[in-house]
A and B are shown apart, each in its own frame.
Chain A
Amino acid sequence: MIISASGLRKDFTVSRKVGRFRRERDVVSAVDGVDLSVERGELLGYIGPNGAGKSTTLKMLTGVLTPSAGEVRVCGLEPVARRTTLARRIGVVFGQRSQLWWDLPLAESFELLRHIYRVPAADHAARLARCVDLLGVDEFAATPVRQLSLGQRMRGELTAALLHGPEVLFLDEPTIGLDVLSKQAVRDFLAELDAAGDTTVVLTTHDLADIEKLCRRLVVIDHGRVVHDGGLDELHARYGSRRVIVADLDAPWPDGLALPGAVVTAVEADGRRVTLALDGVAAGEVVAALAHAVPLRDLSVQEPGIEDVIARLYRREA
């Protein structure tokens, strides 16, 4: 096991003004008893709504924040006590921060990192070549970091985080603010990294496409607690996600009409548009029954979206 945490907690004291001079201190638990274990080579999606405690967990796993309680081990080390040792074995990308040298060309940042991490020149060259291949960082390697676009910078950040060959890569919202193409480049790169299988990746994101494309395992955290740990399918099963048929009709939907295996979830446009959720029956059967019962004009079948499931999870339904 490359990452293990049990009962991990982080409390912050927030002081609040009461009256003119008095202040009261409240204790807020940003992370409230998280248990987590990650095997070597896994790609884990660590998701949750804003303020759920994702970044705080990541900062405790990387040794930047001291946990208020609980046990953590990353690469067999206690992160805070062994922060600088651990730093050689992990890579971190914070989507909203930069680890590159602002005034210097990207290539010089890479060169500096080679010295700081004491990477042998041959290893450095090989890893850089791979990143050039997959992320195209050579196109803007001579540009000072401050002049890079967000997409270019993020590709630079990913490269910078991987040049010392980390065992674990922590990514905190690496696709935030990126355009479609840059997102795709980052995603493809991570899929490739996952396929190679020698880097463990912990990814936090709000981008549901990232999750669908990359994460076989999802840990969902809310109010500092783990509310789901498992695959995407299990999540769908748990929330009973259903396929949906949306039908446009030539005549209004007759009140009280029921079709076997389907539930009417919405009737709109003066009864001329109806939405049906399928209860595990084949769409064909319902469509046939529908065509028989009402004059059909148009029809579409929609797969259950992860967005809906995640929204329900965040709303704490179920």
Chain B
Amino acid sequence: MPRVPWALTAAGFRRYATYRQATFAGAFTNVIFGFLRCYILLAVAAEVGGAVAGYDGPKLVAFVWLGQGLLAVVSMWTMLDLAERVRSGDVVADLLRPINPLWTYLWTEFGRAGYAMLTRFVAPLVVGIVAFTFYIPQNWVTYPLFAVSIGLAVLVGFACRYLIGLTAFWLLDIRGVSMFWGFATNIGSGLAFPLAILPDWLATALWVGTPLPALLQAPIDIAVERGGVGHSLLLLAGQAAWGAGLLLVCRWVQARAVRRLVVQGG
């Protein structure tokens, strides 16, 4: 890894590593909600004969606990500092560096996600494996595919939130946009329920037309080996396409935003 991205990633990692109580409290909350969601889904599965939309008991357990862990890694509900810095005018300092802020924020985000992987991802995963019958991947290829998929999920989550942050250049206050984003991700990312339970046309629309399933459902489906290696590769390609496309959009929107920039607060 070249030096600048590495330095920024390491700084992002250390920045979040300073807040240990927050890490602990967050992981604890994820575990509690994991139990709730797991018992509900298993109860539903028992009612309908053991499997929901092709996920049997152990796969449902994996779906819930991987989701609880990845939630903090993808961190889709925590907005980047960007919007707040636009609001306060501090974004000036970001623009006065010899590097595009898009990359500064991206590498910092990967550092944050790395820290979350080691802490917030591991805790619910261990609890899930110890307390329930957890689906263990049968094919070794699944592990590297899953790892790549998590990286792409972080990228897609970042690009979406960066775009939301950029809207602050026009709106100043992004609360409306981020509330809508919170609602959309809850439904469409595969956090609340596996997207496969939706009618086919709706699920397909979400997969093809929005980046939302790329955040959680894609890596989880790869981990539970839904549809084999070919299907997993297809999911990865979809994630990569969304990630690259959204980054391009971010660059374009940012260029327009900077051109109309009004620096707040003198």
A residues at B contact (CB < 8 Å): 12, 55, 59, 62-66, 83-85, 87-88, 90, 92, 94, 96-99, 101, 103-104, 108, 111-112, 115-118, 144
Q: In the complex the two chains form, what is the Cα distance from A81 to B8 in whole Å? A: 25
Shortest 8 CB-CB distances between A and B: which pairs?
A115-B7, A99-B93, A87-B98, A103-B15, A88-B98, A84-B98, A97-B90, A92-B96
Using a Cβ–Cβ cut-off of 8 Å, how many residues does chain B contribute to the interface with A? 27
Q: 17 A-B pairs, CB-CB below 8 angstroms?
A: A12-B262, A59-B92, A66-B259, A84-B98, A85-B98, A87-B96, A87-B98, A94-B92, A99-B97, A101-B11, A103-B15, A104-B14, A111-B7, A112-B11, A116-B7, A118-B3, A118-B4
Complex alpha-carbon distance, A144 and B18, angstroms: 10
* B95, A55: Cβ atoms closer than 8 Å: no
Contact A64–B92 (Cβ < 8 Å): yes
Q: Give chain A nearest CB distance to B244 CB in angstroms.
A: 22
Interface residues of B (CB under 8 A from A): 3-4, 7-8, 11, 14-15, 18-19, 88-90, 92-93, 95-100, 104, 259, 261-263, 265-266
Q: Which residues of A contact B14 (CB under 8 A)?
A: 104, 108
Cα distance A279–B154 when bound, in Å?
75
User: Taking the nearest CB of chain A, how far is it from the CB of B15, in angstroms?
Assistant: 5
Given contacts A64-B92, A83-B95, A87-B98, contact A96 B265 (CB under 8 A): yes
Give chain B nearest CB distance to A75 CB in angstroms: 13
Name the distance in Å between A204's Cβ and chain B's nearest Cβ: 11
On chain B, the residues within 8 Å of A112 by CB distance are 7-8, 11
Q: Could you say which residues of chain A place their CB within 8 Å of the CB of B261?
A: 64-66
Residues of chain A contacted by B8 (CB below 8 angstroms): 112, 115-116
Partner of B99, one of A12, A55, A116: A116
Q: Do the beta carbons of B15 and A104 come within 8 Å of each other?
A: yes
A97→B93 CA distance, assembly (Å) = 8
Question: Chain B residues near A108 (CB, 8 Å)?
Answer: 11, 14
**Shortest distance from the beta carbon of B56 to any chain A beta carbon, whole Å:** 44
Q: A84-B100, A116-B97 are in contact. Are A97 and B89 (CB under 8 A)?
A: yes
Give complex CA distance A84, B18 in Å: 31
- Bound-state Cα–Cα, A85 to B99, Å: 9
**Complex-state Cα separation, A155 to B70, whole angstroms:** 41
**CB-based contact A104/B11 at 8 Å:** yes
Q: Pick the contact of A59: B18, B88, B98, B263 (CB < 8 A).
A: B263
Q: How far is the CB of B84 from chain A (nearest CB, A)?
A: 11
Contact, CB under 8 Å: B263 / A65: yes
Q: Which residues of A contact B97 (CB under 8 A)?
A: 84, 87, 99, 116
Min distance, Cβ B254 to any Cβ of chain A, angstroms? 12
In the bound complex, do residue A116 and residue B98 qualify as a contact, i.e. CB atoms below 8 Å apart? yes
User: Which of A88, A99, A115 contacts B3, CB < 8 Å?
Assistant: A115
Known: A55-B266, A101-B11, A144-B18. A64 touches B96 (CB 8 A): yes
Q: Is the beta-carbon distance between B15 and A98 smaller than 8 angstroms? A: no
**Inter-subunit contact A101/B93 (CB<8 Å):** no
B90: chain A residues within 8 A (beta carbon): 97-98
| B94 closest partner in A (C-beta) | A99
Q: How far is the CB of A86 from chain B (nearest CB, A)?
A: 8
Question: A191 to B163, alpha carbons, bound, how many Å?
Answer: 44
**Bound CA–CA A122/B262 (angstroms):** 38
A177 to B213, CA, bound (A): 49
Chain A neighbourhood of B265, CB < 8 A: 96
Chain B residues near A63 (CB-CB < 8 A): 95-96
In this complex, which of B7, B98, B265 has the most chain A Cβ atoms within 10 angstroms of its Cβ? B98
Contacts of B92 in A (CB 8 A): 59, 64, 94, 97
Known contacts A98-B90, A116-B4, A64 near B11 by CB under 8 Å: no
Q: Would B263 and A64 count as touching, CB distance under 8 A?
A: yes
The answer for the CA separation of A112 and B97 in the assembled complex, in Å, is 12
A residues near B18, Cβ cutoff 8 Å: 103-104, 144
